[in-house]
Structure 1
Amino acid sequence: MFSTTGLFKGIPCPEGERCTIIHCIFSHELRPQVNLDAPEEPAAKKRKLDQDLDAATKATANPVTVKSGNANKGFATNGFTTVNQPKPAVTTPAPLKILKTLQRPVSPPPKPPTASSKTAPTKPAIKETLNPRMIPHDPAGHGKRTLFLKHLHGEMERLNNQIAKGAHPKRAVLTLTSDELIKAALDEEEKTARENHKVYANVIKMRVAALKKMAVEDWITHVIATIRIDQQEDQGNVVPPIDTGLPLDQEHIVLPHLITDQTNLAKHGYVPIPPTEDDIVEAKAAVAASLNYEVCDRCKSRFRVFDERREEDGALTTNGPCRYHWAKPFTARREKTDAIKGPKQAIYPCCQELLESPGCTQCETHVFKVSDGKRLASVMPFINTPHNPRPAKGPNGKTLDAVTFDCEMGYSTSGFELIRLTAVSWPEGHCLVDVLVRPQGTILDLNTRWSGVTPEMYSNAVPYEEKAAMDALLPPPPPGSDVPPLPGTRDSTPLKDTASDPLPIVSSPVAARDLLCSFLTPSTPLIGHGIENDLNVVRLCHPTIIDTIILFPHPRGLPYRFGLKMLTKRHLGRDIQMGGALGHDSLEDARATGDLVRYAAGQRLKRLQREGWTLDNGALMPPLPPGGPPLPEGRALGAGSGVKRQRIDVEQQDANKKLREE
């Protein structure tokens, strides 16, 4: 038997009164009886009971158990006899003594809480030096890493000094301190060492060379994107610089290599040739035979459209209101756990409901959209771009190299019609025309969530002729100032943000098309995103188009396509179409589309230069055939006037091909 160490003497014995062990290591002290009527006291471990309580009070609190040597005296159990004693009168317990340890002052004394003390304390920043940070696998050794780090820091310091000495409006914010420069160099060197372990030396040398050639504007963009991230909000929607490798007035020489061939795109919605009169008659007969019944473009319900309001109730359509989801269904990406959890179901992002759920948005009428070229021509005939010997010039007084345009559409009793047309010059982005359009049919829904056109815009619109007459009365600008925008144009913010500058309005889609064609010739490149929709709603067949859907194809091919918002963010680093339910702005979309073509032109020029093309006096020269005679003059791509001057003679191309084969 081991001797007790007193570790268990404060724990009551589990056997209690039935314990037969002489030297039990547990406690057998008598505890006072619990008074249920007394107020609740804190737990025993939170205070120390008074040791000077009257022993008699303890003894009379419960029946007393005494050791009995004779089992015949009284009621004996396991050698113990319980003796019932009379209960004493209820007495008030003595007050508890406050321990001296609780009365001692705290050292140091506590400070009063302050606003700054409520937050977690931050450790002071450790000041770093130009000493490479330790990583698990050193790619080049401490000596070489230190040398590369000093070169990297030196180029960053040079660019930083140029910002400090320049006249940038935010020079004080964008200028880095010495510690920030060291940290930026250490971060970039460490990232290169970790991510490019095997080719560390080559990558870091290329980065130093790039910093030597970097312009101050590019360094400012890098600082805002990596170090001064909080300044991105102040930058707003500032267009980052687009480097095409050519001056702005020479970027058009690459456009012939970007022109889209429409011959194989008819099945994807393009109408390269206007439908004939027989096609139009056939389409009208089919509509009459169907009694003007259509399928709703939103909820897919079948309904009937009236040319004029019904006499009984003034309705334009039948089958009641339309309930639909304005967002397209979305299916989450597959995961490995789908085999256990089950496949994911498609949901609508607009309301997070499943695919078969009822619509979350309601419209008063059903709407429909016509995509067939013959049916479109039955409402408004298509035309080819007319020959224009004297096309209108841009606001800067120069001949247009290309035109970027974008349209906004709404629903009417005639289908999906044009309600706003915007055109800008390329590559400058000057606004040429921006007008509202009265559709041919009665308006059912302006489609504001996507078009951005509201009823207030129509009510505040000024007729285009009046706007042109008012602009004609304005005094001419002083010499050297910017050329004012053309009548019916705006280079400022959208109308929904500028109520004092209403858009002009034209009487019909035909009038809007005439405005657009006044800037075009059949050889003028017409740029757009998903341009078949814009051309169809304008009813125009243009032979020279550039579509960003074709320039930036989807990996799965047509009909899959990337959205303009995503392409602009990916390639230009710019956010557009951020209005939410306020809709899009066709002026913003047109300029973004033109900038995407500028970016594509720069990429195509780099590829052509790798293939041997050269620049000579503002012309793009194809590679000479090996060992062949010099080619005649004038075959350079970019010589002459307009896009016609930029095309290579077909016979000369055949001759070059034969020379290469030989």
Structure 2
Amino acid sequence: MPPVQGLQWIPFPPPPELYQGPLPSPLTLAHGDPSYAFELLDLLEPTYVMKKHGYLTQQLTDAELDEKRRCRYCNLTVAQLTKHLQRTLDHRHAHPIPSPPCQAYRPLPSMQTPLGNGYYDVHLCMVPCNFHPGSVNGATKCYDCCGQHVSESKPCATSEQHVLREYEAGKLHRMYQFHPTPPIYHESKENRHIRQAVAIDCEMGTAETGESELIRLSAIDYFTGEVLINNLVKTDQPLRHLNTRYSGVTWGQLNHALRNKRTLIGKAGARDALWRFVGPQTVIVGHGVNNDLRALRWIHTCVVDSYMVEHKIVQARKAFEAATEANMAMTTQQATQQLSVLAPPPATGHKTGSLTPHGQAPTTGLGEPKKQKKPKGCGDLALKTLLKKYLDRDIQMQGNKGHDSLEDAVAARDLVHWMVMRRLQQTYDGTMN
């Protein structure tokens, strides 16, 4: 069906892939309950708070898009290459001679920007070009220059000069620009079916450029549990690997979906699929939603993020504990000062020192074992951790087989539902006391 003048047409996506696990159930005592809706909307955060958590609330400027250009060899962006450059130049200008023992500053690396017809513009940068001069063997996924595997290799060559990629007109905009949720001009039975709230989750692979690339999108109706989207994505850029250990997506699954034309077509196709169900006022629910929105190149500020909700509670608790500890320390200090006035002077002639109960001087802590780094996705604010803590439910139990974006979308929905019900219970308890 072609676009109709004055109306907004969103293309039909392929149907959702069948889910192997239990289907999400509808929420009880929620849909249509004004007090529930009030508490859900009260979990929304203003844009300045969202920005602190990495949300993008405005489209990128031309200058910001220009900083997305990458070196053709090491794949670093202009933004990464020039970070702290101006501060370094200002410091060297203010202090022409470095501090001893250095006699001269190290020359800064440079980057060449192609201007066409073999001409280049040269600018200084901060980071040398570390890269692999060889290509990747398609069968072994190893570099032929050093034999290292692509997933764990360190660059084996270095240059003090970067060469930026050439981009055709409009390509940076197509690749990196963010797009706000379109307004609802028209809603028809065949086109947009806007929901009050939608829970989402994305899985990402790694493109050949080293960037995260959207490879799967899942979305459910927050209230009814209806599976709206559960599809793999035909990527906009060639992939280096699928991060199967985390994404749960295999090459076999992706190739099968591509052959059967059941994928969403790029990030634009994924956004279009969502916009069939999402309007500007639709509440998007998830955990760490800023990562999903960035993967989709999508601007949406009506978001309930269970990570942000729990982070706010944790920060408030830490502030309260710090204030309590400070008050106790002040009280102890005042009591000590009062006792020192009344106590007799200490006896002299005895060497004082800080000893442990066993008569040994305390250690400096240099020999203490380092804290072990927690596995990815297992931090105190991780979805898996919070779901076990509050709902006593296990997710992401497939080990190296990775996550399931639909399972995670349902888990985030259920976690936010629990958070809303907790607030309702606290309100009820407050009115009863």
| TM-score interval, smaller chain | 0.5 to 0.7
Matched with 1:528 is 286
Q: Is the 8 A contact 1:401 1:525 kept in 2?
A: yes
The Cα of 1:399 is off from its aligned counterpart by: 5.2
Matched position secondary structure for 2:184: coil
The question of 1:581 aligning with 2:406 is answered no
Counterparts in 2 of 1:263 and 1:561: CA distance versus 1, 3 Å? farther
User: 1: distance between equivalents of 2:242 and 2:281?
Assistant: 34
Matched with 1:412 is 207
Matched with 1:363 is 151
User: 1: distance between equivalents of 2:23 and 2:68?
Assistant: 48
Q: 2:61 aligns with which of 268, 276, 283?
A: 276
- Name the % identity: 30
The question of 1:514 aligning with 2:272 is answered yes
Q: Is the 8 A contact 2:232 2:263 kept in 1?
A: yes
Q: Is the 8 A contact 1:304 1:318 kept in 2?
A: no
The Cα of 1:364 is off from its aligned counterpart by: 6.6
Matched with 2:253 is 457
Q: Is the 8 A contact 1:405 1:590 kept in 2?
A: yes
Matched position secondary structure for 1:283: coil
What amino acid is aligned across from residue 425 of structure 2 in structure 1?
K
Q: Is the 8 A contact 2:39 2:423 kept in 1?
A: yes
Q: Is the 8 A contact 1:240 1:573 kept in 2?
A: no
The question of 1:258 aligning with 2:43 is answered yes
Matched position secondary structure for 1:437: strand
Q: Deviations over 1:441-482 (max 9, x none)?
A: 221110001000001101211568x5xxxxxxxxxxxxxxxx
Matched with 2:366 is none
Matched with 2:243 is 447
The Cα of 1:409 is off from its aligned counterpart by: 0.3
Q: Is the 8 A contact 1:413 1:442 kept in 2?
A: yes
Matched position secondary structure for 2:394: coil
After superposition, where does 1:131-530 map in structure 2 within 5 Å? 246-250=29-33, 251-284=36-69, 287-288=70-71, 292-293=75-76, 303-304=130-131, 320=146, 363=151, 379-390=175-186, 400-414=195-209, 415-461=211-257, 504-530=262-288
What amino acid is aligned across from residue 279 of structure 1 in structure 2?
E
The structure with the larger Rg is 1
The question of 1:602 aligning with 2:427 is answered no
User: 1: distance between equivalents of 2:240 and 2:310?
Assistant: 34
TM-score (normalizing by structure 2): 0.55
Matched with 1:563 is 382
The Cα of 1:411 is off from its aligned counterpart by: 0.5
Alignment gaps of 5+ in structure 2: 1-20, 81-127, 156-171, 319-378
Counterparts in 2 of 1:520 and 1:290: CA distance versus 1, 3 Å? same
The Cα of 1:242 is off from its aligned counterpart by: 7.5
Counterparts in 2 of 1:606 and 1:382: CA distance versus 1, 3 Å? same
Counterparts in 2 of 1:432 and 1:239: CA distance versus 1, 3 Å? closer
What amino acid is aligned across from residue 571 of structure 1 in structure 2?
Y
Q: Is the 8 A contact 1:303 1:318 kept in 2?
A: no
What amino acid is aligned across from residue 274 of structure 1 in structure 2?
Q
Q: Is the 8 A contact 1:293 1:304 kept in 2?
A: no
Q: Is the 8 A contact 2:287 2:412 kept in 1?
A: yes
User: 2: distance between equivalents of 1:412 and 1:460?
Assistant: 19
Counterparts in 2 of 1:407 and 1:607: CA distance versus 1, 3 Å? same
The Cα of 1:519 is off from its aligned counterpart by: 1.1
Q: Is the 8 A contact 2:187 2:193 kept in 1?
A: no
After superposition, where does 1:93-132 map in structure 2 within 5 Å? none
Q: Is the 8 A contact 2:135 2:145 kept in 1?
A: no
User: 2: distance between equivalents of 1:521 and 1:241?
Assistant: 21
What amino acid is aligned across from residue 285 of structure 2 in structure 1?
I
Q: Is the 8 A contact 2:203 2:217 kept in 1?
A: yes
User: 1: distance between equivalents of 2:66 and 2:193?
Assistant: 43
| Residue correspondences, number | 282
Report the aligned-residue RMSD: 4.2
TM-score (normalizing by structure 1): 0.37
Q: Is the 8 A contact 1:240 1:572 kept in 2?
A: no
User: 2: distance between equivalents of 1:601 and 1:463?
Assistant: 42
Q: Deviations over 1:13-52 (max 9, x none)?
A: xxxxxxxxxxxxxxxxxxxxxxxxxxxxxxxxxxxxxxxx
Q: Is the 8 A contact 2:57 2:300 kept in 1?
A: yes
User: 2: distance between equivalents of 1:291 and 1:462?
Assistant: 30
Bigger mean CA deviation after superposition, 247-256 or 398-407: 247-256
User: 2: distance between equivalents of 1:393 and 1:586?
Assistant: 28
What amino acid is aligned across from residue 250 of structure 2 in structure 1?
T
Q: Is the 8 A contact 1:429 1:594 kept in 2?
A: no
The Cα of 1:413 is off from its aligned counterpart by: 1.8
Matched position secondary structure for 2:47: coil
Q: Is the 8 A contact 1:303 1:317 kept in 2?
A: no
Matched position secondary structure for 1:411: strand
